[in-house]
Chains A and B, each alone.
Chain A
Amino acid sequence: MIAMIEAVPPNPAPQAAPQTAPDDYALVKRAQAGDTDAYDQLIRRYQERIYATVYHMTSNHEDANDLAQEAFIKAYRALKSFKGDSSFFTWVYRIAVNKTINFLKQRKNRNHMSLNDLDFNAEHDPDLVSLISDRTPRRDIHLAELQEKLNAAMQKLSEEHRLVVTLHDVQGLPHDEISKIMDCNVGTVRSRLFYARQQLQAHLSDYLK
């Protein structure tokens, strides 16, 4: 069982933050002095992970585009107040997450999903192929339909529970990093993750037998 879990492509996110921290610090110092090239490098370093987090929270590419850009803009304008108590990675993540949660609370009824952007490589992932063909009762299920069900189940979670699942199970961040981003203790992260998984499992039980 453990081997099967590890067979899922690892997410590079967990290693990135601590290893790049010194470089981040130097870039932040330069950006605080008005060097936009330095901030450009910071954006390029974290744009994909910030975008992905926002996207998995909203299930909408247009919203993710706006919110991810606005998170970086807000971070730039608040850069003077960044003291370096946490890493830039954690700090900008927190800005993006707070912005996204506020957005979702303002637009409770909005439920757009962009489901036609599945990466072509997904069809060739052996784990996903086996998951669909062997373990799903409806063997003829289409990959996009499975994705739709998954996103619908994610949207049923509260923002906090969805965020924990996104950061840990989708993006692969460790518990302590998530606790810093969400400004709560590790125990809260663990309990939220457990509850969120239970909810998802209940919603997706037809696909997990």
Chain B
Amino acid sequence: MKPDSDNFEGLQRLLALKRYEQPPPGYFNSFADRVLHRIDSGEDLETLSWWRHLTAGFALRPALAGAFGLAVAGIYFFGLGVSHLVDQQTAQTSSPAIEPWPAESVVSALPLPVEAAQPSALRTEDSLMASSMQPVISAGAPRGLFAPGAGLRGATLQPASFSLRGY
């Protein structure tokens, strides 16, 4: 049997059930005092209401509180990681300017086959001091490559061909 669309008698009796939904006993005894206290304190309704609803939501949904805590912890650790990364990058980019000594130590440790006789030549190469990222060997083509003999200046020269005695 379908209920009569114009007869709401049963529905109205059912809705009367809602009149029994009441707040906890004694709730209204202090209601006006709470309102007046909030008026006296001059609190800003708009800014406080969101926080009150959030905390009320935590009380009603423990899972929500847990999720909020996880989110806060996640943001914290993410921020911590980002700050470490930034620190490392800053240290890498600024360390050569602050501490130039490692470049000289690299230069002194390298084998100098030809230029060893003229150490001053190495000191004139600015690129060697520029950065540890640039290898000191790549300062340019060897001096004797396009000017034969130029790199051997001062060394003892031997003829490429010679004859043995008696032949």
Contacts and interface: CB of A to CB of B under 8 A. Distances in A.
B84 interface: no
B28 interface: yes
Interface stretch (B3-11, B72-80, B107-115): B3-11
Contacts, number: 132
Contacts of B59: 62
Contacts of A21: none
A51 B15 contact: no
A16 B15 CA distance: 21
B20 interface: yes
Interface stretch (A38-46, A81-89, A173-181): A38-46
A121 B31 contact: no
A63 B108 CA distance: 77
B52 interface: yes
Contacts of A151: 18
B1 A209 contact: yes
B17 interface: yes
A208 B90 CA distance: 74
A170 interface: yes
Given A61-B23, A70-B49, A73-B45, A170 B15 contact: yes
A9 to B, nearest CB: 7
Interface string B1-45: 111010111111111111111111000100111111011100001
A80 to B, nearest CB: 14
A20 interface: no
B13 A117 contact: no
Nearest to A44: B32
Contact of B39 (A76, A117, A143): A76
A39 B31 CA distance: 13
Tell me if A's interface is mostly helix, strand, loop or mixed: helix
Contact of A11 (B19, B35, B36): B19
Interface residues of A, number: 60
A169 B12 contact: yes
B14 A204 contact: yes
B20 A43 contact: no
B14 A208 contact: yes
Given A51-B23, A118-B21, A131-B13, A72 B49 contact: no
B48 to A, nearest CB: 10
A198 B38 CA distance: 41
B98 interface: no
B3 A208 contact: yes
B97 interface: no
B15 A125 contact: no
Interface in A117-132: 117-119, 121-122, 125, 127-128, 131
13 contacts: A8-B13, A64-B23, A118-B21, A127-B16, A128-B13, A128-B16, A146-B14, A150-B18, A165-B15, A169-B15, A197-B11, A201-B3, A204-B14
Interface of B: 1-3, 5, 7-24, 28, 31-36, 38-40, 45, 49, 52-53, 56, 59-60
